[in-house]
Amino acid sequence: MVSVIASENIADLRHNLQVFMITGSAVSVHKSRVSARRLRVFLKGTNPFMLPERYKPLAMNLKLVMTILHPVRQHDVVTDWLDAGGLETRDRRHDRAAMVCDAQAQVSDAGMIGLVDEFAKLMQAGGWRRRGTEVLDQPCLCVVPGIIDQSVQNLYRAGGLDQVFETTGDYHGFRKDLKRLRYWFEFTRSLFAKKDIAPWRKTAKLLQSTLGTVNDLDEARMTGHDRLVGAGAWGPRRSASVDLAVSLSDTLNLLPKFWR
């Protein structure tokens, strides 16, 4: 299971980074970040089984990918709002081209694609395992339930999403934990009956999308582009998105735990 999950996602990251190095497109930026994030989730889930000296460099390099591409991704998010209002300018396109060149240079200087290839070789060779991890030699269904259980516990450790919005208002931690849980459903979907896993996958996907809308609206306000949402529409749209997210969060928490 570990080798399959790693190999598939390493291949995705390598491909998306190559496309970014050639095109610098917004899609390649987004997909590269998603691929790196998925691998970070994989590493975090398998950390108890990995040698620390193997885990730390891998985690650091994946974080570096996210950091390098973050400014371009943020620029693209704001540009989407400007495009919607017909306000995209030549200066912004020039700024993006410079940012992409800088990011491509950083990826190249770090030898990132070569590091990804080394990651693949390491996982295939099996030299990453700690001693005493014989549990990995058991059937997958002996290992996976514990990882998913921990992911669900992490998601709701601070209570439901309504409590998050009512207290700190910082939903980003919940959003990141939700992504981790959703990725584990994707990683292990072949182990479970489709009818059992489908409600979790669909609800988690819609909840993630809804929280993404809230995040985009907040990004628009922070960057002074909330007027592009529509006259007086920012508040009502955000409230509706928050209400839907809370409802979906409650639904997710009540679904039968199919993996137990």
User: 82 and 32: one domain?
Assistant: yes
For the chain, the domain total comes to 2
Q: Are residues 88 and 112 in the same domain?
A: yes
Give me 237's structure tokens.
């749209």
Classify burial at 213, counting beta carbons within 10 Å of its beta carbon; exposed 0-12, middle 13-18, buried 19 or more. middle
User: Quick one: 124 and 186 in the same domain?
Assistant: no
Give the domain CATH number at 25: 1.20.120
Cα dihedral across residues 209, 173, 77, 42: positive or negative: negative
Low-confidence ranges of the chain (pLDDT < 50): none
> Rounded to a whole number, what is the distance in angstroms from the first to the last CA of the chain?
18
User: In angstroms, rounded to a whole number, what is the distance separating the alpha carbons of residues 86 and 4?
Assistant: 45
Point out the domain boundary residue: 80, 114, 137. 137
Q: What are the structure tokens assigned to 8, written together?
A: 């598939």
- Domain co-membership, 152 together with 259: yes
Out of 81, 116, 137, pick the residue that ends a domain. 137
> Full-prediction pTM beyond 0.85?
no
Tell me the per-residue pLDDT of 175-202, one tens digit each, with 9 for 90 and over.
999 999 999 999 988 889 999 999 999 9
Encoding tokens for residue 241?
A: 């998105």
- What backbone torsions phi and psi does residue 129 show, to the nearest 5 degrees? -80, 140
Q: For residue 259, give its domain range.
A: 138-260
Contact 40, 63 (CB under 8 A): yes
pLDDT of amino acid 241: 95
